[in-house]
């Protein structure tokens, strides 16, 4: 009888252990994935939560190895950083993260303004606050960030990041800073140089347009290396950076979609001169889309030298434009 009782006890314990082991693990939330991505000390968590299309594009361009090294360094840096700053993260509630700088005594926190879960997508909007001597440090610009998480193969991936800056035009502190700045400009006497110097050839290039040209220039070089049978492309949409599926010759995922649309920063971007098969050259021009941007035109070809001309004609720019310093 005693042996039977012991056998029944062991059988009960075994059935309980089996039931516990077969319970379905609680799935990770998008918020937990976001915290793991940026605050985990385990190397590789950053790439774990990047979309497959992003990892594939990085691998093709050779940048994946650099990202892996960065992920390892970031985890090591975070371990070192915690000696000076104490962090605490929260998987639920209105506060995502709070911390204190032991050297300056400043405190900060990141709060969850909105968490919208719809099926396999979750948009998490965060705001940032800092405190000095227990006083909230007010900033008139009130920045916030939205992390668009999307489920992919059972794992939450960071699909998009949105930056927002809100200007509270009726806020007294904001109005005070704006009006004081305007007042100081109107009361400051303007000094006129006795011998003004005017340079006809010197100018300040539109840095945003030049930066966009360099982005397309780099994308063209990568495109030619990836799709050798085609060479350079004269279709901006072939370099587009967003869309479903894997990168291909008609959607290489190399530049943002707004730039691939051909109009950005008040300029029209056009590609031409992709002759031959494969194409060994191209012409890229940025011409003003409106009169407010003047008549200066920028251009570049496969050589990589960016030039400019003032007559608004891309042909003139390519033939005799002034190289940018």
* Position 201 in a domain: no
- 122 and 250 together in one domain: no
* Close Cβ partners of 249 (under 8 Å, ≥ 6 residues apart): 227, 230, 233, 238
In a domain, 267, yes or no: yes
Determine, yes or no, domain membership for 226: yes
Nearest Cα neighbor of 254 from 277, 227, 274 is: 227
**Domain co-membership, 126 together with 211:** no
Quick one: 158 and 246 in the same domain? no
Is there a single domain that holds both residue 156 and residue 35? Answer: yes
Q: Both 221 and 310 in a single domain?
A: yes
- DSSP type of residue 255: B
Last residue of a domain, one of 107, 141, 169: 169
Are 31 and 165 in a shared domain? yes
Please indicate, yes or no, if residue 308 is contained in any of the structural domains: yes
Cα torsion through 193, 199, 202, 208, rounded to 10: 50
> Measured between alpha carbons, how far is 262 from 35 in angstroms, rounded to an integer?
37
Q: Which among 119, 152, 169 is the end of a domain? A: 169
| Same domain (yes/no): 220, 295 | yes
Assess whether 159 and 213 both reside in one domain. Answer: no
pLDDT score at 195: 44
Selection from 293, 292, 319 nearest residue 307 by Cα: 319
| Whether residue 51 is found in the same domain as residue 136 | yes
Residue 159 shares a structural domain with residue 36: yes
CB 240 within 8 A of CB 252: yes
Shared domain for 163 and 59, answered yes or no, is yes
Which residue carries 């004609």 as its tokens?
313
Domain-located, residue 181: no
Tell me phi and psi for residue 232, to 5 degrees: -75, 155
Residue 37 contacts residue 227 (beta carbons within 8 Å):
no
Tell me which of 169, 199, 226 is where a domain ends.
169
- The pLDDT value recorded for residue 3 is 54
Is residue 153 in a domain? yes
> Is 54 within a domain?
yes
Query: Is 199 among the domain residues?
Result: no
- Tokens representing 292? 């407010």
What are the DSSP calls for 220-246, one per residue? HHHHHHH-TTTBS-S-GGGGB---SSS
Q: Is 208 helix (H, G, I), strand (E, B) or coil?
A: helix
State the CATH number of the domain containing residue 157. 3.10.450
Same domain flag for 156 and 218? no
* Range 297-303, long-range pairs (CB < 8 A, 24+ positions): 297/321, 298/205, 298/206, 298/209, 298/210, 298/213, 298/267, 300/213, 300/217, 301/273, 302/220, 302/232
> Is the four-CA dihedral 45, 46, 50, 54 of positive or negative sign?
negative
Distance CA 35, CA 163 (A): 18
- The domain total for the chain is 2
Q: What is the pLDDT of residue 282?
A: 95
Q: 236 φ, ψ to 5°? A: -60, -35
pLDDT, one tens digit for every residue, the chain (325 residues): 555 555 555 555 555 555 454 445 688 999 998 888 888 777 777 788 889 888 888 888 877 776 666 555 555 545 444 444 577 889 998 899 888 877 777 888 889 988 989 889 999 999 888 888 777 776 666 678 899 999 998 999 998 898 877 776 776 766 776 777 676 555 555 554 444 443 433 445 678 889 999 999 999 999 999 999 999 999 999 998 766 678 899 989 899 888 889 988 888 999 999 999 999 999 999 998 865 556 789 999 999 999 999 888 889 999 999 998 7
Per-residue model confidence (pLDDT) at position 29: 94
Domain range spanning residue 235? 207-323
Identify any residues that bridge with 251 across adjacent strands, giving them in sequence order: 248
């Amino acid at each position: 009888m005693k042996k039977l009782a012991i056998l029944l006890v062991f059988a009960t314990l075994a059935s309980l252990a089996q039931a516990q082991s077969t319970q379905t693990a609680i799935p990770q939330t998008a918020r937990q994935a976001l915290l793991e991505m940026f605050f985990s000390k385990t190397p590789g968590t950053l790439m774990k939560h990047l979309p497959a299309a992003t990892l594939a594009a990085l691998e093709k361009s050779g940048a994946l190895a650099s990202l892996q090294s960065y992920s390892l360094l970031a985890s090591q840096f975070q371990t070192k950083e915690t000696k000076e700053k104490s962090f605490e993260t929260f998987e639920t509630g209105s506060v995502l993260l709070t911390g204190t700088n032991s050297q300056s005594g400043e405190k900060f926190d990141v709060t969850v303004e909105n968490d919208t879960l719809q099926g396999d997508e979750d948009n998490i909007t965060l705001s940032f606050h800092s405190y000095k001597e227990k006083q909230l440090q007010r900033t008139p610009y009130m920045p916030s960030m939205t992390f668009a998480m999307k489920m992919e193969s059972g794992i939450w991936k960071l699909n998009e990041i949105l930056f927002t800056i809100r200007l509270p035009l009726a806020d007294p502190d904001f109005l005070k800073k704006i009006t004081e700045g305007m007042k100081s400009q109107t009361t400051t006497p303007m000094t006129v140089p006795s011998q003004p110097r005017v340079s006809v050839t010197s100018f300040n290039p539109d840095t945003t347009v030049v930066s966009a040209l360099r982005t397309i220039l780099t994308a063209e070089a990568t495109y030619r290396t990836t799709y050798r049978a085609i060479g350079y492309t004269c279709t901006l949409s072939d370099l587009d950076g967003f869309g479903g599926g894997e990168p291909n010759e008609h959607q290489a995922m190399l530049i943002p979609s707004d730039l691939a649309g051909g109009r950005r920063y008040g300029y029209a971007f056009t590609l031409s001169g992709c002759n031959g098969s494969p194409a060994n050259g191209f012409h890229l021009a940025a011409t003003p889309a409106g009169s407010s941007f003047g008549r200066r035109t920028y251009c570049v070809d496969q050589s990589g030298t960016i030039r400019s001309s003032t007559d608004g004609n891309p042909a003139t720019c390519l033939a005799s434009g002034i190289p940018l310093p």
